[in-house]
Amino acid sequence: RFAYVNGRFVRHGEAAVHIEDRGYQLADGVYEVWAVFDGKLADAEGHFARLWRSLDELRIAHPMSEAALTMVLREAVRRNKVREGLCYLQVTRGVARRDHAFPNPAVLPSVVVTARSLDRAASEAKAAQGASVISVQENRWGRCDIKSIGLLPNALAKQAARERGAIEAWFVDDMGLVTEGASSNAWIVDAEGALRTRDTNANILRGVTRYTLLDVIRESGMVINEKPFTIAEAQSAREAFITGAGSLVTPIVQVDGVKLGDGKPGPVAKRLRALYIERAR
């Protein structure tokens, strides 16, 4: 395997950044994850648009143009012989003597790209079974719209989920409303049959998969209600599912130990998964 680090491809096992990288010391950086279908990056532009925005919000310089970065990502996919999988990009503010404030003058941002294969057949089989989520209290900062590498609350939430046999944890805010998952956006098909997902004016990540799926949903004439929901509403919903570059569209059949309906993935989630994959391919 190979990884891209600051201008060149090196063997994955030997890929490294300096110990005084601000990503390592301060989580001062951002990332993106692309799904790879048939060797191609899914929703490429959407992820780039969000990357530039995350960098701008943190005043980290763009390390290179979109065209150049696209070449690097494609090369990472090619060198690792990824047909079906994921491509990861991380940009940090760079290497500088430890100081919370930005280095002045600015240093070059550090760029890391990796790509790995996934067993799509296995993920399809898993998705067909449906998965569980648990709820955890929202405890993240106020800028979840920035795709920051500071993921400690997300990591703790995901671990709590794993320890309870769930694939995802849903953060629940002070109002009792679900914000999003630790690494995905949260959706239900409510009692009226409308698709519900939280609006992105809230403190959540603007999921690229979420936006593409909204297009797919509109085109197929289904009703969308961008409104948050409670855990109780999810438990009594017709269906639930999560979206993200890793999970694509994954049906949820259990929320905090309560089965939804008959405990099997619903027709809407199954259909949307198929439509999303068809669109992304």
By residue count, the chain amounts to: 281
Residue of 167, 164, 201 whose CA lies nearest to 184: 167
* Residue 246 interacts with ligand PDD (CB under 6 A): yes or no: yes
Query: What is the distance between the alpha carbons of residues 240 and 217, in angstroms, rounded to a whole number?
Result: 15
* Residue 209 interacts with ligand PDD (CB under 6 A): yes or no: yes
Catalytic residue list contains 147: yes
Query: What is the distance between the alpha carbons of residues 172 and 149, in angstroms, rounded to a whole number?
Result: 21
- Active-site residue, from 81, 126, 147, 227: 147
Q: How far is C-alpha 107 from the geometric centre of its chain's CA atoms?
A: 28
Q: Which residue, 80 or 90, is less far from ligand PDD as judged by CB?
A: 90
- Which of the stretches 162-170, 222-230, 244-252, 269-277 binds ligand PDD when contact is defined by CB under 6 A? 244-252
Cβ atoms of 185 and 242 within 8 Å: the answer is yes
> Total residues contacting ligand PDD (rule CB under 6 A)?
14
> Closest separation between CB of residue 243 and ligand PDD, Å?
6
> Closest separation between CB of residue 216 and ligand PDD, Å?
13
Query: What is the distance between the alpha carbons of residues 39 and 73, in angstroms, rounded to a whole number?
Result: 11
Q: Which of 135, 148, 185, 250 binds ligand PDD (CB under 6 A)?
A: 185
Burial group, residue 41, by CB count within 10 angstroms (0-12, 13-18, 19+): buried
Q: Which residue, 76 or 95, is less far from ligand PDD as judged by CB?
A: 76
* Residue 195 interacts with ligand PDD (CB under 6 A): yes or no: no
Q: Which of 95, 208, 237, 269 binds ligand PDD (CB under 6 A)?
A: 208
Task: Centre a 10 Å sphere on the Cβ of residue 43 and count the other Cβ atoms it contains.
Answer: 20
* Residue 135 interacts with ligand PDD (CB under 6 A): yes or no: no
CA distances 100 to 22, 23, 55, 104, Å, are: 9, 12, 17, 12
The 14-53 site mask, x for binding ligand PDD (CB under 6 A), equals: -------------------x--------------------
* Packing angle of the helix pair 44-58, 208-219 (nearest 10 deg): 140
Q: Which residue, 264 or 279, is less far from ligand PDD as judged by CB?
A: 279
Q: Which residues are catalytic?
A: 147
Contact residues for ligand PDD (CB under 6 A)? 33, 180, 183-185, 205, 207-210, 243-246
